[in-house]
Amino acid sequence: MATPPATAALQAFDEDAWDDLLNYIEERRVIPIIGPDLLRVQTDRGLRPLYEWLAEKLAARLSVDVVGLPQPLTLNDVMCCFLGQHGRREEAYTRLRSILREVQFEPPLALRQLAQITDFDLFVTTTFDPLLEQAINLERHGGQPSTEVIAYAPNRVADLPAERSQLQRTVLYHLLGRLSASPTYVVSDEDMLEFICALQSEHLTPEKLFHELEHNHLLLIGSDFSNWLARLFLRMAKRKRLSDPRDVSEVFADDHTMQDGRLVAFLQQVSVRTRVYGGAEAFVAELHARWSARQRPAQAADGGSAPRRFLPPSREMPENAIFISYAREDLPAVQRLKAAMDATGLTTWFDLDRLEGGDDYDRKIRANITRCSFFLPVISANTQRRHEAYFRREWSYAVDRMRNLADGAKFILPACIDDTPESEALVPEQFKALHIMRVPGGEPTPEFLRGLQNLFSGTRQ
């Protein structure tokens, strides 16, 4: 008996596929594109899809008679019925904004799990709601509104502020518009047509974003695309025939794609670099579990206690903190290092997102290095590769401060998180005169932590 196309596609997502995907994610070569299937929220009638709930609320606000409309309701059905009753189109967007402002939904677990995967620095969403933004801020910034949010609209083209490698903080891009009182986001199929046409227009395309979509691996999670819209979206993102050879791949993770035999067959036969995984929430849970497991080295000899929880650093550096300086590629290891140090009562700080730019930002960092108790530069293969980066300026500022200290005073505490040879480390000469501590994978030994505690307590006596 022949295997149905959908089943064959699911079986193709094997251990090798997971390993490839996780390697690409760790190299920051994957962009997640989030759709409405991940947005299930707790309502007075239990856990429900956000956009189904919104459609019912909007129909009531607009006095739309839903008798005879297909169930469950969709925003498109409500909008078309409202327009058919000669309603004013702009009114629907204002009502939607009011509805969402009146409720406080918790970001769904799946969105929080994606936000915890710190190798994702650029998120794209096809929804207009703020839940993914809230999830990222909660998981990475202690709830502070630190995520950079950009929204596309046909009448106001907004692109990435820089190439992805130069982004200063996590970016969330609303590809189909963002919640507003103005009709600048997709609610109906008509809106979708306008956005798709504009995105393909020579003068209205966000070029930096589409360059990243073209040259990176894509995760389309919970997209809820119809057969032809899925094909069109993939073609638009890749900007070439889907049967042409390409070095990057895509994953569709949602039940709609899995259940559409024709779409699965098309992807298998034409777009051979595309894989399909059934169930958006199940995919995110599996991805999060596998990524998290790879971030934790084998449990240390402390009996397998519960993993330490990383608490994002505050925007402002606390007094007498240990300033951690690092290359952005080393963020997962630095998070583990900070969590371990925090757990022993040490006060630590590092700049998580390069939140500001220009002279003001530079003055702030220099002032923090002047105020900190100790400066801990993280050395790695990543710092070896980057001959020009902001962390090298931080290292220089630390050396400047050290020149004003008495001979023998400890201030700079270099730490290496991998097997980079000490003799080959590309660091200032002043670092080489110091002992470079080893913290493999960002997991410090008890001796390392006790040494820091002794130094720290000595500064407070």
Domains, the chain, ranges and CATH? 5-39+108-289 (3.40.50), 41-101 (no CATH), 322-459 (3.40.50.10140)
Contacts of 437 (CB under 8 A, 6+ apart): 413, 414, 415, 416, 448
Whole-prediction pTM: 0.65
Q: What is the pLDDT of residue 150?
A: 96
pLDDT in tens, the chain (461 residues): 343 444 444 335 678 888 889 999 998 999 999 999 999 999 888 889 999 999 999 999 999 998 888 899 999 999 999 999 898 999 999 999 999 999 999 999 999 999 999 999 999 999 999 999 999 999 988 888 889 999 999 988 899 998 888 888 899 999 999 999 999 999 999 999 999 999 989 899 999 999 999 999 999 999 877 777 778 888 888 888 878 888 888 888 887 766 777 877 787 778 777 888 878 898 899 999 899 888 865 434 444 444 455 666 777 888 889 999 999 888 888 988 998 898 888 999 988 755 444 557 788 899 999 999 999 999 999 999 999 888 999 999 999 999 999 988 899 999 999 999 998 999 999 998 898 999 999 999 988 999 898 888 766 54
Contacts of 317 (CB under 8 A, 6+ apart): 323, 349, 368, 371, 372
Rounded Cα distance, 271 and 162, in Å: 30
Instruction: Transcribe 60-113 into DSSP letters.
Output: HHTT---TTS-SS--HHHHHHHHHHTT--HHHHHHHHHHHHHT--PPPPHHHHH
DSSP state of 122: E
286, containing H or E segment: helix 280-295
**CB atoms < 10 A from the CB of 300, how many?**
13
pLDDT (tens digit, 9 = 90+) per residue, 147-183? 999 999 998 889 999 888 888 889 999 999 999 999 9
Q: What is the pLDDT of residue 357?
A: 46
Q: What is the pLDDT of residue 297?
A: 56
3-state class (DSSP) for residue 153: strand
Rounded Cα distance, 372 and 370, in Å: 6
Kindly provide the b/e burial profile for residues 382-411, where b requires at least 16 CB atoms within 10 angstroms of the residue's own CB. Answer: bbbebeeebbbebbebbbebbeeeeeeeeb
Q: What is the pLDDT of residue 11?
A: 37
DSSP state of 174: E
DSSP state of 129: S
Q: What is the pLDDT of residue 460?
A: 54
Kindly provide the b/e burial profile for residues 168-185, where b requires at least 16 CB atoms within 10 angstroms of the residue's own CB. Answer: bbbbbbbbbbbbeeebbb
Return the structure tokens found at 219. Answer: 């995760």
Q: What is the pLDDT of residue 271?
A: 78
Q: What is the pLDDT of residue 133?
A: 96
Q: What is the pLDDT of residue 459?
A: 60
Q: Which residue's structure tokens are 């996590």?
A: 170
Q: What is the pLDDT of residue 258?
A: 65
Q: What is the pLDDT of residue 342?
A: 86
Nearest CA to 195 out of 238, 152, 231 is that of: 152
Nearest CA to 84 out of 66, 102, 72 is that of: 66
pLDDT (tens digit, 9 = 90+) per residue, 2-42? 434 444 443 356 788 888 899 999 989 999 999 999 999 99
**Strand order across the beta sheet in which 437-438 lies:** 348-349, 322-325, 374-379, 415-416, 437-438
Instruction: Transcribe 375-421 into DSSP letters.
Output: EEEEE-HHHHH-SS-HHHHHHHHHHHHHTTSPTT---B--EESS---
- The reply to whether omega before 440 is within 30° of 0 (cis) is no
446, containing H or E segment: helix 446-459
- Report CA-CA distances (Å) from 145 to 68, 132, 164, 172, 335: 42, 12, 20, 12, 20
pLDDT (tens digit, 9 = 90+) per residue, 334-354? 988 998 898 888 999 988 755
Amino acid at 235: R
Which pairing describes strands 374-379 and 322-325: parallel, antiparallel, or unpaired?
A: parallel
Nearest CA to 82 out of 423, 93, 374, 30 is that of: 93
Burial class of 375 by CB neighbour count within 10 A (0 to 12, 13 to 18, 19+): buried
